[in-house]
Structure 1
Amino acid sequence: MKILITGTTGKVGKAFLPAFLEKPQFSSAEVVALCHNRRIEAGERVEVVTGSLADPQAVASAMDGVTHVLHMAAVKESPDLVIDVAIKGMFLLLEEARQSATLKQFILIGGDCSVGHIFKDYPAPITENSPRKAYSGCYALTKVIEEVMVEQYQIQYGLNGTVLRAPWIMEKDDFKHALSFGPDQFGGPIWSDLMSTGKAARLGHGGFVPLMRDSTGASLKRNFVHVDDLVAALLAALDNPHAKQELFNIAMDEPVDYASVAEYLLRTRGMEIVEIPTPFHSNWLDNTKARQALGWRPQVDFEGMIERAWSYERKPNDPRTIWYPG
């Protein structure tokens, strides 16, 4: 096995690579990491190719002799980069894949922005057959296009593609910062869009936990997955015949209920609950198909995610660096 990984320096890539290298069934596998702005260190079984996904020669060089592709590289809300990196890069990878004499599987990490996560309403749990409804912005649009491109290469050329659609991915102390009202907040929503700037600033001093309400007034329910569970799903899908030409939702068994989170933090940390009305929608990303077909089970529930985030202690060589806002 020779696997090409894009996005190796990202949150999922940094967690996946050591887990992959340590798995006994992949002990003889080689890794090619296509890196651009950030690099990893090459190793005994890890080759680093420097270049942009938008460069045909760099992609062709990285794909030489590859048997598997794990495509995770992405751009967020960067209209100046989105066509070259997300669309052209995906096209170049797929073109090399379909013409390759060695390729066995192409895995894409997608996102629940392709189904609008909290911005679009669904009357029932979101399955792999639910319609794609991206929210506004170029990032969500690219996630839809990427899924469709893999799907069409499967139809047109018989590509053995697998798409793992993940919601908001948490690691380390991410969840703690996702709930913060302070300047250390990770991701969204922007609190000043939902309340006065003065109130947001007062809450930013700490000790408060948001209990967001959805458009119906019920507590908001949003989908998350811990990076360890996503890595486990990737390892389960790799070289798995049940993953051939399939799309899987990879999320917690249930969406995270902000009321349950608030009540847990009130009980365990004495944090004060702040109710916040929002225009958002509660959605449920149904992971039944992945659990049944891949034999995968998420291990981190919302309580586990809270405990991991609140107990995480950063070392001097582990600064909190946010490459993307969410």
Structure 2
Amino acid sequence: MRAAYASAFDDANPLAALTVGERPEPELPEPDWVTVEVRASSLNHHDLWSLRGVGLSAGQLPMVLGCDAAGVDPSGAEVVVYPVVSDPGDPRGYSILSERHPGTLAERVAVPRANLVPKPAGVSFVDAACLPTAWLTAYRMLTTRGRVADGEAVLVQGAGGGVATAAVVLAVALGKRVYATSRDPGKRERIAELGATALESGARLPERVDVVIETVGAATFDHSLKSAAPGARIVVSGATSGYEPKVNLRRVFAMQLEILGSSMGTPGELADLLALCQERGIQPVVDRVYGFSEVEKAFARLHSGDLFGKVVLDHTR
């Protein structure tokens, strides 16, 4: 079968480590695993890190890339693939597809049957393929971890990235007052079109917020603390600008703030996210859709950093 895979590691130029070619059909490591015919998949920065050698060893090469996919199971049912697999050998207790088991950037992928979430008829394969990683992370940050409630305000730092952009769309759909920051004027303009109040990074907000979605880290964390209302939840799922910010602990205890880590979500939360998208007509922000034959162009687009939203592969093209 045709697949996109890491054939080497190249930290300086990860695209040089990408190969597109034939790979063996997926193996089913356990009786409860099944093979899914992939109809659409989407790229994540996790794929670029894999090409750089982060989270993989040379002995695991070649490794099919990709975490996110939607497709058809052996019974013909339309499904979305939940990418987290139980892994006692990993310190986290789990691994993500393309870390230990071959990923989704292929014609077919093997996954545990329990990882198949029914795809609602009103959600396309392309849209569904955007959801399992970045969008699920944003959904969990807002709901399970952030416990966002009616009448509350949300700040999203670094809007334009995959998780941050998803958080803006979802928070707006949930009826919240949403503020979003970006250093890029073009991204601020596009964020405003999604329904948020777009501000320059570090700008003073019109009000203090109840939930902060933090994926940037050191560059924005002090602003997140200063923007938080008493009892607010600052939910962290990334640190692209550095993971050791200075933290004013006096503000943390005086304002009774919660700083919460978050990563991915559960199959049940993915099902809830899919239902929300169908019920409210939410469509993921898609930067560009490529046919699977254009996978190298898709990776180049992701690597460029110029994208706004998800890069998707339509496996039917």
Which structure has more strand as a fraction of its residues? Answer: 2
TM-score range, shorter chain: under 0.3
Which structure has more helix as a fraction of its residues? Answer: 1
